[in-house]
Amino acid sequence: AQKITQTQPGMFVQEKEAVTLDCTYDTSDQSYGLFWYKQPSSGEMIFLIYQGSYDEQNATEGRYSLNFQKARKSANLVISASQLGDSAMYFCAMRASLNAGGTSYGKLTFGQGTILTVHP
Amino acid sequence: SQTIHQWPATLVQPVGSPLSLECTVEGTSNPNLYWYRQAAGRGLQLLFYSVGIGQISSEVPQNLSASRPQDRQFILSSKKLLLSDSGFYLCAWSVWGRNQPQHFGDGTRLSIL
């Protein structure tokens, strides 16, 4: 079974500062993918960034980067130069190995989320 | 480009009434489709997923059911709603691929009275 843990229920950051949102995971699979999503107060889930377990470099997407430490089973999201519009709930999620014969194909396991508040 | 439509946006239903939430995807073929439920301030719980027409996998035993009558249509139903069915329901789609994210609809806020 897979598990995602986000230990920070809430985080605060000053506008224009960087912030790190923590995510640790547990899986017995050798091949897996890690995703981060943003959920504003309106409710929609917005895909931010992806990291594959075999990717040698940390993923980056604009102001978002992923600090991937495979041995520690952590995939922390780093948001640089925070903006007021970054205030939202952030979810870390993991996709199981893409085993066509398995029932876990394509499914995501989500953490409980971290509420980020950006102060002006 | 691909889009996902989910409706209604909000719904208030009495206990014991039926439910039908619909989700459609445009711009892609044979997507994987998912229904999630989210309690207030919590993470997402996968309810059902489908990899093809008529194929439904259930994750959590409950009084909800799902159907996929067409390739890009996914329906969440209940014959009799319970108070515990209240929540935020999200539909999502993805294509095959290790690095392919799931793309979500805008969700339905369901309140049971």
* pLDDT tens, per residue, chain B with 113 residues: 889 999 999 999 999 999 999 999 999 999 999 999 998 888 899 999 999 999 998 888 678 999 999 999 999 999 999 999 999 999 999 987 778 899 999 999 999 99
SS3 B83: helix
Residue reference for tokens 């205030």: A87
pLDDT tens, A13-22? 999 999 999 9
Q: Is A44 on the interface with B (CB under 8 A)?
A: yes
Q: Is B99 on the interface with A (CB under 8 A)?
A: yes
Cβ contact A106–B109 (<8 Å): no
Q: Is B32 on the interface with A (CB under 8 A)?
A: yes
Best of A23, A30, A45 to substitute, by most chain B Cβ atoms within 10 angstroms, is A45
pLDDT tens, A29-48? 888 899 999 999 999 999 99
Confidence category of residue A96, pLDDT binned at 50, 70, 90:
confident
Cβ contact A112–B44 (<8 Å): no
Question: What pLDDT score was predicted for residue A41?
Answer: 93
On whether the CB atoms of residues A39 and A91 are closer than 8 A, the answer is: yes
Best of A107, A115, A116, A117 to substitute, by most chain B Cβ atoms within 10 angstroms, is A107
Chain B residues touching residue A50 (CB < 8 angstroms)? 99, 101
pLDDT at A116 over 70: yes
Q: Is A64 on the interface with B (CB under 8 A)?
A: no
Two structure tokens written together for B32: 């994987």
Q: Is B28 on the interface with A (CB under 8 A)?
A: no
On whether the CB atoms of residues B22 and B11 are closer than 8 A, the answer is: no
